[in-house]
Structure 1
């Protein structure tokens, strides 16, 4: 039996098995086996030279537009960035990625219009694997639907999930330390919904027989499997419904952003949402003894440190770092002297001494 046949068989068995306490262990083992077989199938396809898009990342962050064909991704790219992505009244107008640059609040955000995704993309249908590969390397996913096929949103989310992409999630707080001997030791700092036997079944499926496992959240079986595989990517996402000028927006879920690329409706709201979801902040550099350049901010991710800024400027700056001074929200007092691990905040003025 081929890998694909085994995968289909397992998918059917999981779908048809009622979930209860009696079947919990069995389903956990099946899900672990399914994830393992999918990974093996991907590795086999990679050996045959799986194609990928050639995308040069540019700017402070990269955002991809993902949606079914003919939902207006190209029109939206053009409206946001002034790019020249071809627009047509038929499916699959965009056959390769088309980039544009959105400038917002001092940040240069690369927006990439990807070819239309279709159901079955995670299994290679259409340009599915190339699209999923491009999404995995992005900083933000913008899922685009039109108001007449909102079901496409769930289909896209499912295809990306099956491609190992976890939208709007954080990595599971599960830590597995493999050992040479000693068996399995499971430690949890929180009450768990899944029992130890299910955890043992999943570990055995991956031939982990000696390990220390520390669990710091109430994980599901799926997130526990993700923690073992360690090949998932966690990317923020927003959902946009285009062509809103043709539909009553009052019938849309609150979680989506209604826009019209053609009529230029809510484009400012979308740009603001992209910037905020990327969690970018601005800092201003001040040379020792000089004045701060308040016209050209450096854009960094929230949570970055002085050391991260040094690395971004030049590797020698990090290697030769002595200390820094900060004016702004992250400082306890004016021109606080800080070390390399100091976490910066939006609007900080930073002087580095190296």
Structure 2
């Protein structure tokens, strides 16, 4: 029986797919359940939605040290959130500590990491949030691991090149995650052209997550074979992009952040006042294909609603060209946003402790909470 989903439901589903914060996803799920047509053709989908609502509710309520829930303790920051997954003793925690300076606990015994540990990987004028997750193994699965992966932007599959059991472990990690509808995907949004077989393909399961994945072959200093990562992928039939690194020796680490910026299609946009130089200290971070309107949404929802036009330096035909809200921004663009209110005054982002905006001194009643920004914390 066809589902015949309503426009209201489709809008809520689209919002769910774009949502990253657990509370935002929960609200979208509740709206999906409210607007879904109630008939036999949607019974399974209703059951899936109710199940996911229960999971998110439990995740948000789960206590941990300090009295905070797991979801609230791991706040998204930076240009993107990247999760480190892998089998026990693959060197994830050591790699995380070296790259971010975190205190992620590492040890010679398995399951040292018991809960997600966030840290920031700097790259030029932005940073990526790296989350060290508990190891993936059938005999021990941390409950919060899957909630974090469902809202992540990408994953690093960290493996130990020197371990003979690595091939079996890689397949076990992939299959265990797939059972929870988390698919490790070799396709990255900024790195590939869509193959003919992929063109127009739609995933009917809205709860299946496809994470762009980089194979990080760790402990390369202990393996004498320079092409061991390629051999591993050929053996297992994998097509992940791969980088060989050594967390202890430091080799290959400098390639990780540039790969993320390129493969995720990170676009940095700066803002300016009329007649003033651009503020290049803290860019807004977007993705390839995003528009001027998306920049305005990062400033504040009210700015997006009243946006009239922008002047652009960079991707325009000439400096200061007037463009509309649908103009696609490019990395390094400088924007001067102009609003319909207050006589088309320029919108001025402010970074005094929180990302806000002003229209010549007038501040909004509420701060922006959009998660896809360059890592500034928002004051509530």
The TM-score normalised by the length of structure 1 is 0.67
**Structure 1: 5+ residue runs without aligned partners?**
1-35, 171-190, 193-214
For residue 102 of structure 2, the aligned residue among 60, 65, 83 is: 83
3-state SS of 2:311 partner: strand
| Contact 1:165–1:234 (CA under 8 A) maintained in structure 2 | yes
Q: Deviations over 1:126-176 (max 9, x none)?
A: 225531221111011011010123312232222222222233377xxxxxx
| 1:150 partnered with 2:126 | no
Q: 1:285 to 1:49 in 2, by over 3 A?
A: closer
**Structure 1 match to 2:21:** none
| Contact 1:78–1:84 (CA under 8 A) maintained in structure 2 | yes
Matches within 5 A, 1:1-354: 43=51, 46=54, 53-54=70-71, 55-118=74-137, 120=138, 125-127=139-141, 129-147=143-161, 148=163, 149-151=165-167, 152-168=169-185, 217=200, 226-227=203-204, 229-254=205-230, 255-328=241-314, 330-354=315-339
3-state SS of 2:174 partner: helix
For these two proteins, the number of residue pairs brought into alignment is 264
**Structure 1 match to 2:192:** none
Shift of residue 50, structure 1, vs aligned partner: 5.4
Q: 1:308 to 1:132 in 2, by over 3 A?
A: same
**Structure 2: 5+ residue runs without aligned partners?**
1-43, 63-69, 188-195, 231-240, 340-380
Q: Distance in 2 between matches of 1:284 and 1:80?
A: 26
Shift of residue 346, structure 1, vs aligned partner: 0.8
**Structure 1 match to 2:344:** none
3-state SS of 1:265 partner: coil
Q: Distance in 1 between matches of 2:268 and 2:97?
A: 26
Shift of residue 244, structure 1, vs aligned partner: 0.9
Shift of residue 82, structure 1, vs aligned partner: 0.7
Q: 1:42 to 1:268 in 2, by over 3 A?
A: farther
Q: Distance in 2 between matches of 1:45 and 1:129?
A: 15
3-state SS of 1:294 partner: strand
Q: 1:48 to 1:316 in 2, by over 3 A?
A: closer
**Structure 2 match to 1:17:** none
Q: Distance in 2 between matches of 1:47 and 1:322?
A: 41
The TM-score normalised by the length of structure 2 is 0.63
Q: Which structure's CA Rg is the greater one?
A: 1
Q: 1:278 to 1:216 in 2, by over 3 A?
A: closer
3-state SS of 1:282 partner: strand
| Contact 2:115–2:144 (CA under 8 A) maintained in structure 1 | no
3-state SS of 1:296 partner: strand
Q: Deviations over 1:68-108 (max 9, x none)?
A: 11111110011111111111111111101111111102112
Q: 1:285 to 1:258 in 2, by over 3 A?
A: same
3-state SS of 1:237 partner: strand
3-state SS of 2:170 partner: helix
Q: Distance in 2 between matches of 1:105 and 1:235?
A: 24
Q: Distance in 1 between matches of 2:55 and 2:244?
A: 42
Q: Distance in 2 between matches of 1:74 and 1:40?
A: 34
